[in-house]
Structures are given as C-alpha cells and as structure tokens.
Amino acid sequence: MHEIGFIRDLAMVMLVAGATTILFQRLRQPVLLGYILAGVLIGPHTPGMLVADPRAIDDISNLGVVLLMFTLGLEFSVRKLREVGIGVLAVAVGEVGLMLWIGAGIGGLFGWKGMDALFLGAIISLSSTMVATRTLAESGQRHQRFAQLVVGLLVAEDMLAIVMLTLLTAVAIGGSVQADAAFTLIGHLGLFVVVGMIIGLLLLPRLVDYVAGFGRDETLLVSVLGICFGASLLAVWMGFSVALGAFLAGAVVAESRSVGRVLHLVEPLRDMFAALFFVAIGLKIDPSMLLQYALPALLIALAVVIGKTLTCSLGIFVVGHDARTALRSGLGMAQIGEFSFVIATLGLSLGVISDFIYPVAVSVSVLCMAVSPYLTRSADSLADGLRRVAPRSARLLATSYSGWLENLKPVNENAAVAAIFRRLLWHVAVNVLLVVALFMAGAYVNAHNWSWFTMFGIDRDQRHTLIWASALFLSLPMLIAVFRKAEALGMLLAEIGIRERFAGSYTRAMRNVLARVIPLVTLLGLAVLVSVLGSTILPPRGIALSLAVIGVLLALVLWRSLVHMHARLQAALKETLNKPGPPAGGHD
C-alpha cells in the first residue's frame, strides 16, 4: 500500500507540474514559478492536501539537485571559463561579495540571528543561470554582446557558488570558521577542482566519445550518469558536497565531442527531477508564513534587483564596456534561482537556519523571476531614459573612459607578446598546482591511511620515505616542464625588458643574466614549496637529501623521456580543450 501511495503522490506532482508548465508557458513566465506555486497548492499547509507523504517526494527530488548541477556543468565547459576573461571574473567576485554583505546586513537589521543573516546573504548573492539564459533565449537576444557578458558572469558565479557551498557547509557544521581555516578549505577545494579537472580532461572526454561510438543511447546515458554519481560520491568522500562532484563531472564531460548527444539524453531526466525538486520546494512552504514575512521578502527582492543591477552594471562599465551594454548586463543578472534553493535546502538539512528563511528565500526568488523578463525587455528604454536625464558632463566622462580603456588594449606585436606571456604563465601555474596536489595527496594518505601501512609492517620513517619519494618522482615531469617554461619566460622578459638603447654594449650580457636568473629563482621557489608541502611527510634529513640527489640524477638521465611524456599529456589536454565547438543551432 505504501508503494501505491508513493505512486499516487508522484502522479499528482507530475500532473500538476505538467499543467503549470503549459499555463506558465502561455503566460510567458518562468516555469520554475509554476512548479513552486504548484507545490504550495498541493502541499500539507493548504486545505485539501493532495500529497500524503511530502518527505518521499523530497527525497527523490534530491536527484534533481545532482542532475541540475551536472547539466549546469555540461553547459559550463572549460572553454567558456577561458573566454570569460579576468575582468568579468573580477566583476562577478565583487558582485557576489557585495551582495553577500548586503544580505547579511539586511538580516542583521531585521534582528535575525547570525547564521540566518549569513545564509540570507549567500541566497541573494547568486543569480539564476536557468532563468537568465532562458529569458535571453526567449527574447531572441542570446547572441548580443551584453548577453555574452551575462553568460560570462553566470559562468563565474557557478564556480563561486561551489566555493560558497563548501564554506557554508564548513560553517554550518563547525558553528563558525576562522580566517586561516577558511583559506585552508578554499585551498583544498581549489586543488581538488584543478586536479580533478586536469585528470578528468585527460581521461573522461575520450571515454565518453568511445562509449558514444557504439551508437546506443542507453549505453551512453548510463555511462555518463555513472560518471555523474561517481564524481558526486568522490566529492563527498573528499569532504565536499555532491553538488561539487556533479558540477565538475558535467564540466569535464562538456569537453567531449559527444556533448550534444549527452545533453539531449540527460535533459529530459534533468527536467523531470528538477520539476520534482521545485515542486518539493513549494511543498515546504507555509502560505501563512509567507504573509507574515511579506514585507521583508519585498524589501529583500528590491535589494536584489537594485543591488545586482547597479553592481554588475558598474563593474561591466569599469572593465571597459559602454554604458548601455553595462546596464543591459546588470538587468540580465537581477534575479536569484536554483543555487539559492540549494543553499536554503542546505541550511535546513543541517538545522542551522530558522524555518522562515526558506519561504522568504522562495518569495524573493519568485518576485525576482516574475520581473526578470520585463526588466530584460525594457533594458533599451531604461538606457535611453537614463541617457536623457544624465548630465552632459557625465556622458562625456563615460565616453572618454571607454575610449581610454580601448586604447590601452595591446595591439599587433604587443598583443602577440602578451599572448605568449600569458600562455607561459598559465603553463607554469598548472604544473606547479599539479606538484602541489601530489604532495598534498601524499600528506592526506599519510594522515588517513596509517593503519594500512601498519598492516605491512611499515613504520613512520619508512612510510614518510615511501610517500615523499613517490610524490617527488611523480612530480619530475611537471618540475622539468616548469624549469623549461621558466627558461622561455626568462628569455622573453630579457628580450622585451632590456632594450639596447638603455643598456648599450651590456645588452647581451644583461639579457643572458636575466634569462638564467629567472629559471634559477623559479627552481629555488619550487624547492621551498616542495619542502613546505612535504613537511608532514618529510623523511629523515639524510634520506631526504639522498632522494633529492637521486631525483636530480633521474631527471638528468631521463630528461628527454620525461619531456616527451609531459608533451604527450599536454598535447592530449590541449586537444581536448581546443576541440571544435558545437555547431550553431545545436544543443546549448
């Protein structure tokens, strides 16, 4: 009988969700609104409750979070992150940080407890990727310049959301988090993301394309879902959230050539479970509590619309875009959505926020979703109105500023040099991160698997020697690559930094000195870094020096082989990242 009851509840939810989808499509409103309102209507707080066991629906809807994050990752892709640019990333960081501060301040003004205010700030700091992209697509503006900036901001916010979810989980479990603990947590998160992405990019896109080669959709679907849920479990095992694992899995699979087919297969599942997720949100809402907190919800919604519009518009203008494009970008970001619900659900599941925060978050989201299409459609009218009322001096200043930034951009030969410089720095950074990750992984194994070593009779010194040597020898290809890139960087900096008209006859000598100093300083920095990272697994001094000497000798003897090995790995990674994009009109 319980099974029949569950099927009855599920049937009721899907029937109502289907009806609301049709209705809200006709009204040209986000269907997420319909799902939430449907959940309120059939929920336990409404007379004539139609769902007998909301908890069962809530449990199954959690799959919606994993699939939602996975498809967000599929639409994210590393290529989009590279195209975002440092300016847009800085705008996203500033906007999220400011909205977090504003939300926490509003909670404090209302007299809410500290954890409620913190979660409120997190809830209103992240815009809705689903609402924003669908609004742009439905209005036919997706390929305009401001829409590309909105997508860039959303991509950057997706990454910030993962950081925020991890930090909020640590805060909720520990009650508070100190600055050093926060930086340590962010460092571990960053390493997990970087190493997971690099290893994943080397393996998973090829695996997905191999499976897709069988031509059977069910095989491909089951395989990518296995990757999704496997990555989620790995993230949990490493102390992070399932959302992080699912998102990273999607971002890696997005680099396969079969990503269009994967999206086509996963989207129906995502839509079904996402519908359950948003209906389950409505099931938790008490309409009487909505009325009680209507004024705070309205004020917070105004803060979201005004705050996000102003901060994003100002930031986009500051990084070099015209005022009209900046305003349209800000208006496109003026809403909150799926991440806000995930954060609110996290706070409730951990029992650290008050019950009223959830309906307040939903109310704010509903209000912002409702006005978002109208804000996007009226962007040009608002821009024209602001231009008419703005003083002539302000318009002249804005135009002059945009022109000045345009003139600062490198062109011709300078642009080519800047591109080479960025590429060398990027290669050095990635290889250093891999070395750091190897030694941190060694420290993790040493801290959590000591009993496994004890079973084989390996004592503390032997354990440290084995782990440290493994990390050092596995790092050799990356260490050699860093040295070679540092040599190239040194020659480039010597060539462009020491001009003959200033150095005269000493030009060649000074360039040779600088070209050799930079790789030597880089090696010294690496040695210090490895010593610090390996401090918890450092073997006795004599053994460590012996291993270091052996490592140097191996590097010299196997130099050519290690260079070729690293080149093959780099070529494989580059091939994955530089694959052709999906054809126009394909799956987004």
Which of the given ranges, 109-118, 194-203, 367-376, 497-506, has the highest pLDDT on average?
109-118
176 pLDDT more than 50? yes
Residue 575: count of CB within 10 angstroms of its CB = 13
Q: What is the 3-state secondary structure (H, E, C) of 353-419?
A: CCCCHHHHHHHHHHHHHHHHHHHHHCHHHHHHHHHHHCCHHHHHHHHHHHHHHHHHCCCHHHHHHHH
Per-residue model confidence (pLDDT) at position 402: 66
State yes or no: pLDDT of 475 exceeds 50.
yes
Taking residues 426-454, report their average pLDDT.
73
Query: What's the confidence (pLDDT) of residue 588?
Result: 39
Q: What is the pTM of this model?
A: 0.68
* Residue range 276-296: mean pLDDT, rounded: 78
Q: Is the pLDDT of residue 194 over 60?
A: yes
Binned at pLDDT 50, 70 and 90, residue 583 comes out as very low
Enumerate the domain spans of the chain. 2-45+54-377, 412-577
Query: Is residue 585 pLDDT above 50, yes or no?
Result: no
pLDDT band at 584 (very low <50, low <70, confident <90, very high): very low
Confidence class for position 486, pLDDT limits 50, 70, 90: confident
Four-residue CA torsion sign, 248, 251, 255, 256: positive
302 pLDDT tier (thresholds 50, 70, 90): very high
| Among the listed residues 371, 300, 359, the one whose alpha carbon sits nearest the alpha carbon of residue 37 | 359
112 pLDDT band (50/70/90 cuts)?
A: confident
What is the mean predicted confidence (pLDDT) over 297-313?
90
Which band of pLDDT confidence, cut at 50, 70 and 90, is reported for residue 1?
very low
Residue 50's pLDDT band (cuts 50, 70, 90): low
Most confident of 102-106, 136-140, 145-149: 102-106
Q: What is the reported pLDDT for 349?
A: 76
Percent of the chain with pLDDT over 70: 78
Section 280-292 average pLDDT: 76
Q: pLDDT band for position 206 (50/70/90)?
A: confident
pLDDT of 575:
64
Give the 3-state DSSP-derived string for 508-535, with helices as H, strands as E and coil as C.
HHHHHHHHHHHHHHHHHHHHHHHHHHCH
pLDDT for 401: 67
Higher pLDDT, 198 or 414: 198
Amino acid at 75: E
Q: Quick: pLDDT tens for 207-243.
A: 888 888 888 888 888 898 898 888 888 887 777 777 7
Q: Quick one: three-class SS letters along 416-461?
A: HHHHHHHHHHHHHHHHHHHHHHHHHHHHHHHHHCHHHHHHCCCCHH
pLDDT bucket at 258, cuts 50 / 70 / 90: confident
Report the percentage of the chain scoring pLDDT > 90.
1
| Mean pLDDT score across all residues of the chain | 76
Three-class secondary structure of residue 13 per DSSP: helix
List, for residues 348-381, the tens digit of each pLDDT value: 777 788 888 888 888 888 888 878 878 877 877 8
**Residue range 9-29: mean pLDDT, rounded:** 79
| Residues 423, 138: Cα–Cα separation, whole Å | 38
- 429-441 pLDDT, tens per residue? 777 777 777 777 7
How distant, in Å, are the alpha carbons of 139, 336, 364, 542, 548 from that of 29? 12, 15, 16, 70, 64
Tell me the CATH number of domain 2-45+54-377, given options 1.20.1530.20, 1.10.3720.10, 3.30.1130.10, 3.30.9.10: 1.20.1530.20
**Stretch 29-57: mean pLDDT:** 71
Residue 60 has pLDDT above 70, yes or no: no
Query: 404: pLDDT confidence band, cut at 50, 70 and 90?
Result: low
Mean pLDDT of 482-492: 79
pLDDT of residue 65: 75
